[in-house]
Structure 1
């Protein structure tokens, strides 16, 4: 998938073209891509708002500096209607993005408590608070009885806001949890209740703050807040009564809370984990390679209600959960990987038969995309491993009752960043192109990368944007925390610089009809960690995009491809205007016949279904 020559390198003085520059493809462990010239991301000039920038296949439309008041570290994003909700360690900034090229700050909510991981559900805004600096009611310690010395003033958990008035969010509920909430995930509704899973990665708080909390290390203590995730219920008819329900023991030997007494032993790897072989030379991992975290809780979970599944990035392992009953999650598969230091987040493909896990090697605060690293286990300063701090792509095989995650490959942006740039795999989302698995992803100061993983074993980068470091002489935290697709645009929360809007542009790797089909998917709401099935409208554009996907995989011969193009073009001509009813009927008949001419692979079946749905609408 060659990229078109649209790469731009921009300094503060203006634009300059790098004619003929070649893109460095991801260096997969199985095969190294040869390059003619250095990657253009290498050696970019530094600056907070004037860093040199290079792009390929993506345009930076707008940068909104963080507003006064809510101007701490930017974190995650959520979307509803024309609004983007930008999490920030000091609260939330809400932007009107009805024109993605010109976002407008609608309002800011000052409510300190990092990370302020964020979701939106109807008229509810949900925030995660883990830091001990959080206070009840979003107040400062000085405003509360007893001040900072009063343990009852500390808030760590899930906050719920009423955002029926987008310009005036109101804090209506606060659910305290024992380890706070680093992140949370909306899992789904059941019997009028909304279920949210909370993931706390900090230590267990004292009983003076919350009486039910036990941080006991005993593997036999059924009351410990460790080795669990929090289940929180929000009654939709009375969200102010939101409450903590229970610890979900998904690390237990049986994979659920059904064997409460054996809740922790599974975390020590006595539960059946498949252990895929690392895609590196034998001997480099002996016995463990990376110093992996213990499986005590999950950093992040991503639910896919349409499939009844949730993927858990759980510190030292990747879990697959059956969450068809959201109050009682059950582990159905788990994987470990000696190349992973810290399982951070997860993303399903739209078919639900693949899952990508990210490794936050270095915790997001280290330079992990440098050409060389001091990795003692590999013998001191060596070429930085391309499968450390990367994505691991798994196919979900087996049966619905007994799924099995099979490692297929790794994906990482090229190791050309400097030691002044924190860089590692972070948060991303799907780009809704029919027939293809495409993801846009944040890499902190590694920028934003767009890659195609339709072939699980051979992911390929197809677009990127990257800035130089915030500071050339030292590592100052910055870069994209999250980069997500939403209703035709890409939005990124930049840790240091602010809120960005971007647009993917036409290249050989992503053509105009595919971009148009992606933009035709308009959602009322998007929370990336609560994936909703992508459904494309029945349209000529959708059919053409599916045809393009089939052609990219070499599954259409020229004769059939020409026949499909001619038939779809003719049907479009007859779909409107004063044409005779017979001509329109003939074009519909011809469309239906097309469906029987293509093959039976998944992507060809998608094309046949799109043709049939189009004929139905005509």
Structure 2
């Protein structure tokens, strides 16, 4: 199966020290009810009673005190967004999970299988296809006509039926489906792994069009050694070089024969002393506790906002989620107790190049790069996503995002802490709330992200200034229940082709649109909507590229104005010559058209060296070339 062509389309133009010691024994026969909890919640980390309470705005935020209730009966608060549509949980679905995008379809994973929504009209999404195939979490990704699905539960079967699970018919790993007929997906062989697959990441090799790679993160128990076909081992000793702990698994998928997909690196040792498999003979393939971090962080002084808060930190023995950005040769691994920066220029053999820890983080969960690869955001799923973590007594540094700048040093690329971002309002004891899955919104010259926070709702924030992130839009519902915490809320909210799609764990599927505000003007939103992908997986980031249009140029100009980098004279000249060129763009006077187009490049030469000015200069130059 060859990948589709024309993937990128345009609308206008073609903590304290981590735990030491052994890990728990492998849970290869975990009961289904325990597996459900393990898949969803991980370890629950309780706040220290001595933790200093943060200062929240608790009185005037419309999200505070929303009425509880199931479905659309709950109270709702919305700012600078428009909710276009809401669909209830699809028949047969249980616990909505992650999303992937292909063509006019959104594929929604859930613990019982997956659903396909037709969003060709985002205001009226239609449920197109439902597949029942139990096996938490069933996180999904797409590549051409292939759908990949993560399966971790010990109760999942190869044939997607329920009951009667044995070592011979159990499936734990990555399922692969042929979705060339979107109404009739066909399950292919798939690939079994020792740890199953909690999440996975599609990784492209820029030098190889015939294969694609899948990084597999497994966080549950390891198969019993006797269970075929692996001879797996959950040994945690640093003296056992064969342990399936302290690693990620790499699968290679031949696109012409996906049934032949197979593991090419069973244990990629990105947790070792040297950061890859080259030092296995030194028995250095243990946890990150075993080596000093390459970017050590001292015990933060009191009052810094980063001193230890008292919550436990998870041991780093595998990655919960890996976000790959092949076009810059990097991946970011959110790996339980640490955040990793990974070189993926050789996709089959990833190599750690930096690691950071944070005394306020309990469980490094997921990661997002900004578009130019100079920043990375890590999320902390403190409490595993199943607890109320946005209360007035919960610090703003816990269960939050940590923003890092990626900087070039004499020792190579390093991650330097910039700030935290957490929802700037309180939620009740009845709402599970913590940082979870989100994606970039492609506004030229700005770093903007939409993100799910379980029952904290969905938020949009600007982190262009990585030291001062600012919330600019949100949507929230009241609790599922007025007196008890019933797990729910948004698992994922992602931007795709002009709209935001949210997967609510128990309430269903939502579609949102941005509205103009002091934070985003009409031209910035229009420019973001120009970026169109034929398919998109958030954990496999692709560079955002804008078409050469006046909308793009005006959005870059707005970004430069917002950042205050333009002199009054340069700002006036930009407005003058952009307007002039747009008026003559359709003129029959070719000489006038060429002259005005040349002025776009001329005014671009007045710009400075800041990244936003250079982006605007490039946009002016590209537009000028199309108008001549």
Q: CA deviation at 1:284?
A: 8.9
State the TM-score, normalizing by the size of structure 2. Answer: 0.88
Structure 1 stretch 229-238 or stretch 393-402: which is displaced more?
Answer: 393-402
CA distance, structure 2, for counterparts of residue 507 and residue 37 of structure 1: 22
Q: CA deviation at 1:386?
A: 0.4
**1:442 aligned to 2:452?**
yes
Partner secondary structure for residue 624 of structure 2 = helix
Confirm or deny: 8 A CA contact 1:279 1:409 kept in the other structure.
no
**1:228 aligned to 2:247?**
yes
Q: Which among 224, 231, 239 is matched to residue 212 of structure 1?
A: 231
**1:571 aligned to 2:581?**
yes
> For 1:409-558, what aligned pairs fall within 5 Å after superposition?
409-558=419-568
Q: CA deviation at 1:196?
A: 0.5
Confirm or deny: 8 A CA contact 1:80 1:524 kept in the other structure.
yes
**1:292 aligned to 2:327?**
no
Distance 1:371 1:35, change over 3 A: closer
Confirm or deny: 8 A CA contact 2:300 2:307 kept in the other structure.
no
Q: CA RMSD in A?
A: 1.9
**1:74 aligned to 2:74?**
no
CA distance, structure 1, for counterparts of residue 410 and residue 443 of structure 2: 26
Q: CA deviation at 1:282?
A: 5.0
Q: Which among 203, 211, 235 is matched to residue 193 of structure 1?
A: 211
Partner secondary structure for residue 545 of structure 1 = helix
Distance 1:284 1:58, change over 3 A: closer
CA distance, structure 2, for counterparts of residue 428 and residue 285 of structure 1: 24
> For 1:140-289, what aligned pairs fall within 5 Å after superposition?
140-141=162-163, 147-148=164-165, 150-189=166-205, 191=208, 192-210=210-228, 211-245=230-264, 246-261=266-281, 262-276=283-297, 281-282=302-303, 289=310
Partner secondary structure for residue 151 of structure 1 = coil
Q: CA deviation at 1:263?
A: 3.8
Distance 1:131 1:280, change over 3 A: farther
Confirm or deny: 8 A CA contact 2:548 2:619 kept in the other structure.
yes
Confirm or deny: 8 A CA contact 1:63 1:498 kept in the other structure.
yes
CA distance, structure 2, for counterparts of residue 399 and residue 340 of structure 1: 25
Match of 1:22 in 2: none
Q: CA deviation at 1:592?
A: 1.5
Q: CA deviation at 1:118?
A: 0.7
Partner secondary structure for residue 118 of structure 1 = strand
CA distance, structure 2, for counterparts of residue 601 and residue 232 of structure 1: 41
CA distance, structure 1, for counterparts of residue 170 and residue 97 of structure 2: 21
Confirm or deny: 8 A CA contact 2:574 2:603 kept in the other structure.
yes
Distance 1:369 1:242, change over 3 A: same
State the TM-score, normalizing by the size of structure 1. Answer: 0.89
Q: CA deviation at 1:36?
A: 9.8
Q: Figure out how many residues of one structure are paired with residues of the other and give that number.
A: 569
Q: CA deviation at 1:314?
A: 0.3
Q: CA deviation at 1:400?
A: 9.6
Confirm or deny: 8 A CA contact 1:424 1:443 kept in the other structure.
yes
Confirm or deny: 8 A CA contact 1:395 1:407 kept in the other structure.
yes
Confirm or deny: 8 A CA contact 1:183 1:200 kept in the other structure.
yes
CA distance, structure 1, for counterparts of residue 398 and residue 300 of structure 2: 11
Distance 1:219 1:521, change over 3 A: same
**1:599 aligned to 2:615?**
no
CA distance, structure 2, for counterparts of residue 43 and residue 279 of structure 1: 35
Deviations 1:171-212 (A, max 9, x none): 012211111100000111354221100000001111233342
Partner secondary structure for residue 531 of structure 2 = coil
Distance 1:287 1:416, change over 3 A: closer
CA distance, structure 1, for counterparts of residue 231 and residue 310 of structure 2: 38
CA distance, structure 1, for counterparts of residue 533 and residue 461 of structure 2: 22
CA distance, structure 2, for counterparts of residue 334 and residue 516 of structure 1: 38
Q: Which among 350, 354, 374 is matched to residue 329 of structure 1?
A: 350
Q: CA deviation at 1:583?
A: 1.4
Confirm or deny: 8 A CA contact 1:293 1:315 kept in the other structure.
yes
Deviations 1:553-600 (A, max 9, x none): 1111333222211211111111114x3112112211211211111111
CA distance, structure 2, for counterparts of residue 438 and residue 556 of structure 1: 21
Match of 2:108 in 1: 86
Structure ranking higher on relative contact order (CA contacts 8 Å, 6+ apart): 2
Confirm or deny: 8 A CA contact 1:252 1:271 kept in the other structure.
no
Q: CA deviation at 1:290?
A: 2.6
Deviations 1:440-468 (A, max 9, x none): 00000000010000001000000000100
